[in-house]
Amino acid sequence: MLTEDQKAFYAENGYLMVEDVLRPEELKRLQEITYGLIDGSREVSQSNEVYDLDRGHSAEAPKLTRIKLPHKRDPYFWEILRNSRITEVLGDLLGPDATLLTSKLNTKAPGGGAAVEWHQDWAFYPHTNDDLLAFGIMLEDVQEDTGPLMVIPGTHKGPLLSHMANGVFAGAIDPEDPLFEKQKAVTLTGRAGSMTVHHARILHGSAPNVSDRARLLLFYEIAKGDAWPILGSNSYFHALGQAKFWEDLQERTITGSPCLTPRLEPVPVTMPLPPAPDTGSIFRMQESAGAKSAFR
């Protein structure tokens, strides 16, 4: 699927844009399912295990920041990850064995959908090696005014910045950190059906959606099979016990088979602790910890 130049660009810069990765019929079906889920939020008045509600949400005008774990809401979200051109890109970048860490559908509502402050995914879930990435599938056109993903090229090779605020793990860096070079940011816009890829260690964030259109971005966060979790936002793993963990691991295996020999690499690791008062989503975490905003 990917050319050698594309793979080299990703290795050097830590991100990639893959245009038109979805076929038209795949995009249409994902859109239909997504808007159906958004419509279903009309019956919800507070955030729950499915929806993370934005300010101003109502039955008349649904406003969400996120649909949680979409691959558990409709099987097509899992099918598209396992059997499509997305799967080919995954194989090109991580090899034959890959495991899903989590999925989320960030649904920035029109007219001020919440920002995601600058952070590194790696800070949330350190592993035994850093062969981890995130796919961002554009379900509608993403333009400058819809709050697109922004990345700072090359930062996946640099240090892990502090994500602490007020004594807790805030899930966001301090915008005044001298190692944060916002002027180097690249904005990733594109057509519906295209896909971004970013390395787990790259600095990234996104501004509020100030347009009159929804910004629907389907994220899959994925690890190479031999990258094993240490501790982090997916630390529910550690509460499962041996038998249930094995079952869960098999359910999250996208391609290949579970790897039982973790690869250990000298990667920077800081435990994401103590937790913020509200860890229900990155939006709640950053807000409840009092993280400083880079978008004000």
Q: What is the pLDDT of residues 187-230, one digit of tens each?
A: 999 999 999 999 999 999 999 888 888 889 999 999 999 999 99
Strands (E), the chain: 15-18, 51-53, 64-68, 98-108, 116-119, 132-138, 149-151, 164-165, 168-169, 186-188, 195-199, 204-206, 215-224, 253-255
Burial readout 177-206 (b: 16 or more C-beta within 10 A, e: otherwise): eeebeeeebeebbbebbbbbbbbbbbbbbb
pLDDT score for 151 = 98
How far apart CA 41 and CA 56 sit, in angstroms, is: 13
The reported pLDDT for the residue numbered 113 is 67
pLDDT at 234: 60
Tokens of 273: 């602790």
Q: DSSP 3-state helix, strand, coil percentages of the chain (rounded to 5)?
A: 30, 25, 45
Domain boundaries, the chain: 4-288
Rounded mean pLDDT of 158-175?
97
Listing DSSP states for 119-132 in one string gives: E-GGGTS-BSS--E
Give dist(CA 84, CA 80) in Å, integer.
Answer: 6
Q: How would residue 296 be classed by pLDDT, with cut points 50, 70 and 90?
A: confident
pLDDT tens for 6-61 read 999 999 999 999 999 999 999 999 999 999 999 999 999 998 999 988 888 998 88
Global confidence as pTM: 0.95
CA proximity to 206, closest of 145, 118, 130 = 118
Q: Average pLDDT for residues 241-251, to the nearest whole number?
A: 93
For the purposes of burial, counting CB atoms within 10 Å of the CB of 58, is it exposed (0-12), middle (13-18) or buried (19 or more)? exposed
DSSP reduced 3-state for 79: helix
Assign a CATH topology to domain 4-288.
Answer: Jelly Rolls (2.60.120)
